[in-house]
Amino acid sequence: MRKVALGVDIGGQSVKLGLVNTRGKILQESSFLTREFLGRKRFFKELKRSIEALLRASRRRNCRVTGIGIGAPGPIDVERGFVYFFPNIPGWRNTPLKSRLEKVFKMRVCVDNDANVMALAELRFGAGQGVQNLIALTLGTGIGGGLVVHGKLFHGPSFSAAEIGHVVIDERGKKCACGSHGCVETFVGTDYFVQEVKKRLRSGQKSILNQWLKSSGRCLTPQLVAKAARHGDSFSKKMWEETGAHLGTALAGLVNVFNPERIVLGGGIAQNGNLIFKPVVRTLRKKAFPIASRSVKVVRAALGVNAGVVGAAALLFENS
Ligand SMILES: [Zn+2]
């Protein structure tokens, strides 16, 4: 009988589920939409139904399911499997996801934060294979961070470690959603990035973006700024230079603290290749201790949209 785990990736828009083998391959998958009106009760019903369907599929495939792994957003008590808060589902507060599902399915359930789960997926099956110490970042509206030390996810005593998006790099900087000022997220998070581009364009700076936005009615996104930079637009190239340098500054600090072997960058912003990677690496080399910066490689995440399901399943392989 082949050993598999059932991975569940709870996201803001949808929930993805998959049967994952010990090599990180998804054998069968399904998904449903996380609609606001579902509410906690109906959400659980849908989750239960989807898990049951995959468990039936596992029996047809002659697989042994070792347990259910779940990646969910926000702060999570990993030991008790508590998901404290989930903005898209009303009534979600302080939900003991682990014990509820263990009671229903009579099997092991592991729950962790989605950024940690992504880090684990990359460590075991993606761009972090072969190393023991790794930092993984998902660059989106927010910045999710995962930290692997000596081959294990590092959570800290209150499970709030690796909030790398909230490392302060400018103490007099913009106010961040977390309440602090000048966090790396206020420079690199997509909403802040777009806000800053808009502000500079309004102040009269020259860019091909002005023409593009006027003529086509296109929306200003990081992708559009990347396209303009590749067109040779110096304003857009400078935006990416600065954004990469801010991220590089934060990473230089982390490299000095943790001396990781690899840094894995994923999410929308990381899709822009050298535009972001070059200034990140340049700044990192300049600002971190030479001995630590020479031994770290900065690479792009390899698993893309599947990282959540694969990493959630890997929570079971970690501890079995
Ligand atoms: Zn913050």
Distance 261 CA to ligand 1 centre (A): 26
- Which residues are CB-contacts of 168 (< 8 A; sequence separation ≥ 6)? 180, 181, 182, 183, 184
Phi, psi of 297 (to 5 degrees): -110, 135
Give the amino acid at 29: E
The one-digit pLDDT tens for each residue of the chain (320 residues) are 899 999 999 987 889 999 999 999 999 999 998 876 577 888 889 999 999 999 999 999 999 999 999 999 888 999 988 887 776 666 777 788 999 999 999 999 999 999 999 999 999 999 999 999 999 999 998 899 999 999 999 999 999 999 999 999 999 999 998 899 999 999 999 999 999 999 999 999 999 999 999 887 789 999 999 999 999 999 999 999 999 999 999 999 999 999 999 999 999 889 899 999 999 999 999 999 999 999 999 999 999 889 999 999 999 997 55
Distance 77 CA to ligand 1 centre (A): 20
What order do you get walking across the sheet with 134-139 strand by strand? 152-153, 143-149, 134-139, 262-266, 297-300
Distance 177 CA to ligand 1 centre (A): 6
pLDDT of residue 87: 62
CB atoms under 10 Å from CB of 158, counted, come to 8
Radius of gyration of the chain (CA): 21
Distance 1 CA to ligand 1 centre (A): 47
Quote the tokens at residue 50. 């989807």
Distance 318 CA to ligand 1 centre (A): 30
209 touches 236 (CB < 8 A): yes
pLDDT of residue 82: 82
| pTM for the model | 0.93
Helix ranges (H only) for the chain are 39-60, 97-105, 114-125, 185-188, 190-202, 208-216, 222-230, 234-258, 274-287, 290-294, 307-319
Distance 60 CA to ligand 1 centre (A): 47
pLDDT of residue 73: 86
Give the amino acid at 93: R
Residue 301: C-alpha distances to residues 3, 15, 142, 150, 262 (Å)? 26, 21, 17, 20, 11
Distance 263 CA to ligand 1 centre (A): 21
- Which residues are CB-contacts of 201 (< 8 A; sequence separation ≥ 6)? 207, 209, 210, 213
User: What is the enclosing helix (H) or strand (E) of 26?
Assistant: strand 26-33
pLDDT of residue 37: 56
